[in-house]
Protein backbone atom coordinates (compact mmCIF):
# COMPACT_ATOMS: atom_id res chain seq x y z
CA UNK A 1 0.00 0.00 0.00
CA UNK A 2 1.04 3.58 -0.70
CA UNK A 3 2.40 5.36 2.40
CA UNK A 4 0.92 8.76 3.22
CA UNK A 5 3.23 11.14 5.08
CA UNK A 6 1.05 13.36 7.26
CA UNK A 7 2.50 16.33 9.13
CA UNK A 8 0.54 18.05 11.90
CA UNK A 9 1.11 21.74 12.57
CA UNK A 10 -0.21 22.09 16.10
CA UNK A 11 -0.38 18.96 18.24
CA UNK A 12 -3.04 20.18 20.70
CA UNK A 13 -6.30 18.51 21.66
CA UNK A 14 -7.89 17.68 18.30
CA UNK A 15 -4.53 16.76 16.73
CA UNK A 16 -3.94 14.35 19.60
CA UNK A 17 -7.33 12.67 19.04
CA UNK A 18 -6.63 12.36 15.30
CA UNK A 19 -3.08 11.09 15.78
CA UNK A 20 -4.26 8.49 18.33
CA UNK A 21 -6.58 7.07 15.67
CA UNK A 22 -4.30 7.52 12.66
CA UNK A 23 -1.30 5.71 14.15
CA UNK A 24 -3.36 2.50 14.04
CA UNK A 25 -3.21 2.64 10.23
CA UNK A 26 0.22 1.36 9.19
CA UNK A 27 -0.03 3.16 5.85
CA UNK A 28 0.41 6.49 7.59
CA UNK A 29 3.75 8.01 8.50
CA UNK A 30 3.01 10.80 10.92
CA UNK A 31 5.02 13.74 12.19
CA UNK A 32 4.17 16.74 14.35
CA UNK A 33 5.34 20.22 15.15
CA UNK A 34 3.98 22.51 17.85
CA UNK A 35 5.33 25.89 18.85
CA UNK A 36 5.00 24.69 22.44
CA UNK A 37 7.82 22.09 22.73
CA UNK A 38 6.28 20.43 25.79
CA UNK A 39 3.00 19.80 23.93
CA UNK A 40 4.85 18.40 20.89
CA UNK A 41 7.08 16.25 23.05
CA UNK A 42 4.21 14.70 25.00
CA UNK A 43 2.15 13.77 21.92
CA UNK A 44 5.10 12.54 19.85
CA UNK A 45 6.35 10.33 22.70
CA UNK A 46 2.90 8.98 23.57
CA UNK A 47 2.11 7.91 19.99
CA UNK A 48 5.63 7.21 18.69
CA UNK A 49 5.43 9.75 15.87
CA UNK A 50 8.32 11.88 14.57
CA UNK A 51 8.75 15.24 16.25
CA UNK A 52 9.91 18.01 13.92
CA UNK A 53 11.84 20.99 15.27
CA UNK A 54 10.39 23.56 12.89
CA UNK A 55 7.49 24.09 10.55
CA UNK A 56 9.95 24.13 7.67
CA UNK A 57 11.34 20.71 8.59
CA UNK A 58 7.81 19.32 8.85
CA UNK A 59 6.65 20.74 5.52
CA UNK A 60 9.67 19.38 3.65
CA UNK A 61 8.97 15.82 4.74
CA UNK A 62 5.15 15.62 4.42
CA UNK A 63 2.93 15.20 1.38
CA UNK A 64 -0.15 16.01 3.43
CA UNK A 65 -0.07 18.89 5.93
CA UNK A 66 -2.77 19.26 8.59
CA UNK A 67 -3.31 22.72 10.06
CA UNK A 68 -4.49 22.03 13.62
CA UNK A 69 -4.06 25.42 15.26
CA UNK A 70 -6.79 27.77 16.55
CA UNK A 71 -8.73 29.68 13.86
CA UNK A 72 -7.11 33.01 14.80
CA UNK A 73 -3.63 31.42 14.49
CA UNK A 74 -4.16 30.17 10.90
CA UNK A 75 -3.14 33.42 9.19
CA UNK A 76 0.18 33.66 11.09
CA UNK A 77 0.97 30.02 10.37
CA UNK A 78 0.24 30.49 6.65
CA UNK A 79 2.48 33.58 6.49
CA UNK A 80 5.36 31.44 7.69
CA UNK A 81 4.36 28.37 5.72
CA UNK A 82 3.68 29.72 2.23
CA UNK A 83 7.36 30.01 1.24
CA UNK A 84 7.89 26.31 2.08
CA UNK A 85 4.76 24.84 0.47
CA UNK A 86 4.77 22.97 -2.84
CA UNK A 87 1.74 22.76 -5.15
CA UNK A 88 1.92 18.95 -5.14
CA UNK A 89 1.20 18.88 -1.40
CA UNK A 90 -2.27 18.58 0.12
CA UNK A 91 -3.17 21.18 2.73
CA UNK A 92 -5.87 20.10 5.16
CA UNK A 93 -7.37 22.51 7.68
CA UNK A 94 -9.45 21.50 10.68
CA UNK A 95 -9.96 25.08 11.88
CA UNK A 96 -13.57 26.01 12.64
CA UNK A 97 -14.98 28.81 10.51
CA UNK A 98 -11.90 29.29 8.30
CA UNK A 99 -12.78 28.81 4.63
CA UNK A 100 -10.71 26.88 2.10
CA UNK A 101 -10.51 30.09 0.03
CA UNK A 102 -9.00 31.99 2.97
CA UNK A 103 -6.35 29.27 3.15
CA UNK A 104 -5.73 29.04 -0.59
CA UNK A 105 -5.42 32.80 -1.06
CA UNK A 106 -2.90 33.01 1.80
CA UNK A 107 -0.85 30.02 0.72
CA UNK A 108 -0.26 29.26 -2.99
CA UNK A 109 -2.58 30.32 -5.80
CA UNK A 110 -2.85 26.69 -6.99
CA UNK A 111 -2.76 25.07 -3.53
CA UNK A 112 -4.92 21.97 -3.11
CA UNK A 113 -6.90 22.68 0.06
CA UNK A 114 -9.34 20.36 1.81
CA UNK A 115 -11.37 21.63 4.74
CA UNK A 116 -12.22 19.09 7.37
CA UNK A 117 -14.31 19.10 10.55
CA UNK A 118 -13.33 16.14 12.75
CA UNK A 119 -14.35 15.45 16.36
CA UNK A 120 -12.61 14.10 19.45
CA UNK A 121 -14.20 10.58 19.42
CA UNK A 122 -11.57 9.97 16.69
CA UNK A 123 -9.44 9.13 19.71
CA UNK A 124 -11.34 5.83 20.05
CA UNK A 125 -11.92 5.26 16.33
CA UNK A 126 -15.51 6.57 16.44
CA UNK A 127 -14.95 9.97 14.89
CA UNK A 128 -17.39 11.79 12.61
CA UNK A 129 -15.45 13.77 10.05
CA UNK A 130 -16.97 16.09 7.48
CA UNK A 131 -14.79 16.80 4.45
CA UNK A 132 -15.18 19.47 1.79
CA UNK A 133 -13.14 20.31 -1.23
CA UNK A 134 -11.47 23.66 -1.85
CA UNK A 135 -11.35 25.34 -5.28
CA UNK A 136 -8.16 23.67 -6.60
CA UNK A 137 -8.54 20.31 -4.85
CA UNK A 138 -9.08 17.32 -7.15
CA UNK A 139 -11.13 14.12 -6.90
CA UNK A 140 -7.89 12.35 -5.95
CA UNK A 141 -7.32 14.85 -3.09
CA UNK A 142 -10.85 14.29 -1.81
CA UNK A 143 -10.35 10.52 -2.01
CA UNK A 144 -7.06 10.87 -0.14
CA UNK A 145 -8.73 12.88 2.65
CA UNK A 146 -11.61 10.39 2.85
CA UNK A 147 -9.10 7.56 3.12
CA UNK A 148 -7.11 9.26 5.89
CA UNK A 149 -10.14 10.10 8.01
CA UNK A 150 -12.02 6.84 7.44
CA UNK A 151 -9.32 5.21 9.60
CA UNK A 152 -10.74 7.09 12.60
CA UNK A 153 -14.48 6.72 12.10
CA UNK A 154 -17.15 7.79 9.65
CA UNK A 155 -16.58 10.36 6.89
CA UNK A 156 -19.17 12.50 5.10
CA UNK A 157 -18.34 14.64 2.07
CA UNK A 158 -20.36 17.86 2.02
CA UNK A 159 -20.26 21.15 0.14
CA UNK A 160 -18.34 23.75 2.12
CA UNK A 161 -21.51 25.81 2.56
CA UNK A 162 -22.63 23.17 5.10
CA UNK A 163 -19.47 23.38 7.21
CA UNK A 164 -20.95 25.76 9.82
CA UNK A 165 -23.84 23.34 10.42
CA UNK A 166 -21.48 20.34 10.50
CA UNK A 167 -19.21 22.13 12.98
CA UNK A 168 -22.22 22.80 15.22
CA UNK A 169 -23.61 19.24 15.10
CA UNK A 170 -20.62 16.88 14.96
CA UNK A 171 -17.55 19.07 15.61
CA UNK A 172 -18.88 20.60 18.83
CA UNK A 173 -21.45 17.83 19.36
CA UNK A 174 -19.34 15.59 21.61
CA UNK A 175 -19.34 18.36 24.24
CA UNK A 176 -23.15 18.44 24.18
CA UNK A 177 -23.34 14.65 24.42
CA UNK A 178 -20.91 14.66 27.40
CA UNK A 179 -23.15 17.26 29.04
CA UNK A 180 -26.17 14.99 28.59
CA UNK A 181 -24.28 11.90 29.80
CA UNK A 182 -23.22 13.86 32.89
CA UNK A 183 -26.76 15.11 33.57
CA UNK A 184 -28.29 11.62 33.06
CA UNK A 185 -25.70 10.22 35.48
CA UNK A 186 -26.41 12.99 38.00
CA UNK A 187 -30.09 11.98 37.94
CA UNK A 188 -29.00 8.39 38.60
CA UNK A 189 -26.87 9.50 41.55
CA UNK A 190 -29.76 11.46 43.03
CA UNK A 191 -31.76 8.23 42.84
CA UNK A 192 -29.05 6.32 44.77
CA UNK A 193 -26.43 5.05 42.26
CA UNK A 194 -22.72 5.49 42.91
CA UNK A 195 -20.78 7.90 40.67
CA UNK A 196 -19.12 5.08 38.70
CA UNK A 197 -22.31 3.06 38.28
CA UNK A 198 -24.24 6.14 37.16
CA UNK A 199 -21.64 7.19 34.54
CA UNK A 200 -21.36 3.64 33.16
CA UNK A 201 -25.15 3.24 32.85
CA UNK A 202 -25.51 6.67 31.31
CA UNK A 203 -22.61 6.47 28.80
CA UNK A 204 -23.39 2.91 27.67
CA UNK A 205 -27.01 3.96 27.16
CA UNK A 206 -25.88 6.88 24.96
CA UNK A 207 -23.62 4.50 23.00
CA UNK A 208 -26.33 1.86 22.56
CA UNK A 209 -29.00 4.39 21.59
CA UNK A 210 -26.68 5.96 18.99
CA UNK A 211 -25.83 2.52 17.56
CA UNK A 212 -29.51 1.62 17.35
CA UNK A 213 -30.24 4.79 15.37
CA UNK A 214 -27.36 4.06 12.98
CA UNK A 215 -27.98 0.33 12.56
CA UNK A 216 -31.78 0.00 12.63
CA UNK A 217 -33.74 1.46 9.76
CA UNK A 218 -35.91 3.32 12.28
CA UNK A 219 -36.22 7.04 12.94
CA UNK A 220 -35.54 8.32 16.49
CA UNK A 221 -39.28 9.01 16.99
CA UNK A 222 -40.12 5.33 16.26
CA UNK A 223 -37.34 4.18 18.59
CA UNK A 224 -38.77 6.38 21.36
CA UNK A 225 -42.12 4.59 20.91
CA UNK A 226 -40.37 1.21 21.29
CA UNK A 227 -39.15 2.23 24.77
CA UNK A 228 -42.28 3.94 26.01
CA UNK A 229 -45.02 1.95 27.74
CA UNK A 230 -48.23 3.97 28.11
CA UNK A 231 -48.51 5.01 31.75
CA UNK A 232 -45.00 3.67 32.45
CA UNK A 233 -41.66 5.08 33.56
CA UNK A 234 -40.40 6.47 30.22
CA UNK A 235 -43.55 8.46 29.70
CA UNK A 236 -43.14 10.02 33.16
CA UNK A 237 -39.57 11.01 32.23
CA UNK A 238 -40.47 12.31 28.75
CA UNK A 239 -43.12 14.60 30.26
CA UNK A 240 -40.31 16.32 32.18
CA UNK A 241 -38.19 16.66 29.02
CA UNK A 242 -41.14 18.30 27.29
CA UNK A 243 -41.90 20.55 30.28
CA UNK A 244 -38.27 21.79 30.22
CA UNK A 245 -38.28 22.03 26.42
CA UNK A 246 -35.08 20.01 26.05
CA UNK A 247 -35.69 19.67 22.31
CA UNK A 248 -35.74 23.44 21.79
CA UNK A 249 -32.68 23.82 24.05
CA UNK A 250 -30.74 21.43 21.76
CA UNK A 251 -31.91 23.26 18.63
CA UNK A 252 -30.79 26.59 20.15
CA UNK A 253 -27.46 25.01 21.15
CA UNK A 254 -26.74 23.97 17.56
CA UNK A 255 -27.84 27.26 15.99
CA UNK A 256 -25.68 29.26 18.44
CA UNK A 257 -22.63 27.11 17.60
CA UNK A 258 -23.29 27.45 13.85
CA UNK A 259 -23.64 31.23 14.22
CA UNK A 260 -20.30 31.34 16.06
CA UNK A 261 -18.71 29.39 13.21
CA UNK A 262 -20.01 32.06 10.81
CA UNK A 263 -18.54 34.80 13.03
CA UNK A 264 -15.11 33.12 13.11
CA UNK A 265 -14.79 33.80 9.36
CA UNK A 266 -14.91 37.56 9.91
N1 LIG B 1 -11.02 20.44 20.00
C2 LIG B 1 -11.93 19.97 19.16
O3 LIG B 1 -12.78 19.15 19.52
C4 LIG B 1 -11.94 20.40 17.72
C5 LIG B 1 -11.15 21.43 17.27
N6 LIG B 1 -11.17 21.80 15.94
C7 LIG B 1 -10.31 22.87 15.45
O8 LIG B 1 -8.98 22.43 15.66
C9 LIG B 1 -8.13 23.54 15.87
C10 LIG B 1 -7.28 23.28 17.10
O11 LIG B 1 -8.14 23.16 18.22
P12 LIG B 1 -7.65 22.46 19.56
O13 LIG B 1 -6.84 21.28 19.24
O14 LIG B 1 -8.87 22.31 20.38
O15 LIG B 1 -6.72 23.62 20.15
P16 LIG B 1 -5.41 23.48 21.06
O17 LIG B 1 -5.17 24.83 21.63
O18 LIG B 1 -5.53 22.32 21.98
O19 LIG B 1 -4.24 23.15 19.99
C20 LIG B 1 -3.66 24.10 19.15
C21 LIG B 1 -2.15 23.89 19.18
O22 LIG B 1 -1.56 24.71 18.18
C23 LIG B 1 -0.31 25.13 18.68
N24 LIG B 1 0.12 26.30 17.89
C25 LIG B 1 -0.33 27.57 17.93
N26 LIG B 1 0.35 28.35 17.05
C27 LIG B 1 1.24 27.55 16.44
C28 LIG B 1 2.24 27.76 15.45
N29 LIG B 1 2.44 28.98 14.93
N30 LIG B 1 2.99 26.73 15.06
C31 LIG B 1 2.79 25.49 15.60
N32 LIG B 1 1.88 25.21 16.57
C33 LIG B 1 1.11 26.24 16.98
C34 LIG B 1 -0.56 25.44 20.13
O35 LIG B 1 0.65 25.46 20.88
C36 LIG B 1 -1.49 24.28 20.52
O37 LIG B 1 -0.80 23.18 21.06
C38 LIG B 1 -9.02 24.76 15.99
O39 LIG B 1 -8.91 25.52 14.81
C40 LIG B 1 -10.41 24.20 16.17
O41 LIG B 1 -11.38 25.02 15.56
C42 LIG B 1 -11.94 21.14 15.03
C43 LIG B 1 -12.73 20.11 15.44
C44 LIG B 1 -12.85 19.69 16.79
O1 LIG C 1 -15.10 24.83 20.01
C2 LIG C 1 -14.58 24.98 18.88
O3 LIG C 1 -14.56 26.11 18.34
C4 LIG C 1 -13.99 23.80 18.17
C5 LIG C 1 -14.61 23.55 16.84
C6 LIG C 1 -15.43 22.32 16.98
C7 LIG C 1 -15.08 21.80 18.29
N8 LIG C 1 -14.25 22.59 18.91
Mind listing the pLDDT tens digit for each residue in 110-125?
Answer: 999 999 999 999 999 9
Query: Strands, E, within 161-265: which ranges?
Result: none
CATH of domain 4-163: 3.40.50.720
Cβ of 167 below 6 Å from ligand 2: yes
Give pLDDT tens digits for 139-170.
999 999 999 999 999 999 999 999 999 999 99
Strand partners, 115: 93, 132
Q: Which CATH superfamily is domain 173-265 in?
A: ProC C-terminal domain-like (1.10.3730.10)
- Half-sphere exposure of residue 168: CA atoms within 13 angstroms, side-chain side: 19
Confidence of residue 1 (pLDDT cuts 50, 70, 90): low
CATH 3.40.50.720 range(s) for the chain read: 4-163
Segment 231-246 shows an average pLDDT of: 98
Q: Kindly report the protein residue whose alpha carbon is nearest to atom 34 of ligand 1.
A: 10
pLDDT at residue 238, as a whole number: 98
> Per the annotation, does 69 bind a ligand?
yes
pLDDT for residue 28 is more than 90: no
pLDDT at residue 64, as a whole number: 97
- Terminal-residue alpha carbon distance, the chain: 42
pLDDT at residue 211, as a whole number: 97
Cβ of 261 below 6 Å from ligand 2: no
Provide the sign of the torsion angle of the four alpha carbons 62, 54, 116, 173, taken in this order: positive
Which ligand is nearest to the Cα of residue 42, counting in written order? Answer: 1
> Per the annotation, does 68 bind a ligand?
yes
pTM for the model: 0.96
Per the CB < 8 A criterion, the answer to whether 66 and 7 are in contact is yes
Give residue 74 CA to ligand 2 midpoint distance, Å: 14
Helices (H) and strands (E) in the chain, counts: 12, 8
Give pLDDT tens digits for 54-65.
999 999 999 999
> Per the annotation, does 118 bind a ligand?
no
Q: Kindly report the protein residue whose alpha carbon is nearest to atom 8 of ligand 2.
A: 172
Pairing of strands 112-117, 127-133: antiparallel
Q: Kindly report the protein residue whose alpha carbon is nearest to atom 3 of ligand 2.
A: 96
pLDDT at residue 265, as a whole number: 83
pLDDT at residue 2, as a whole number: 75
CATH 1.10.3730.10 range(s) for the chain read: 173-265
Cβ of 170 below 6 Å from ligand 2: no
Write down the ipTM of this complex: 0.99
Q: pLDDT exceeding 90 applies to what percent of the chain?
A: 95
Per the CB < 8 A criterion, the answer to whether 82 and 91 are in contact is no
Give pLDDT tens digits for 71-118.
999 999 999 999 999 999 999 999 999 999 999 999 999 999 999 999
Of 14, 15, 178, 264, the residue with max ligand 2 atoms within 8 A of its CB, to mutate for a pocket test, comes to 14
pLDDT at residue 27, as a whole number: 80
Which ligand is nearest to the Cα of residue 129, counting in written order? Answer: 1
Amino acid sequence: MHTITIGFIGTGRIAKALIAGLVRDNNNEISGYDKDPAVADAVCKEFGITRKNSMSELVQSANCIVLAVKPYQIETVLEELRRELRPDQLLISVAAGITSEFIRTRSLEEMHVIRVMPNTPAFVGEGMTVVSRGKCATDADLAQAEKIFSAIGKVAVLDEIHMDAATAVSGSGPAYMFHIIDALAEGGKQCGLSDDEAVTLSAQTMLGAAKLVLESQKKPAALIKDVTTPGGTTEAGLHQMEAHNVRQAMIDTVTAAAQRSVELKQ
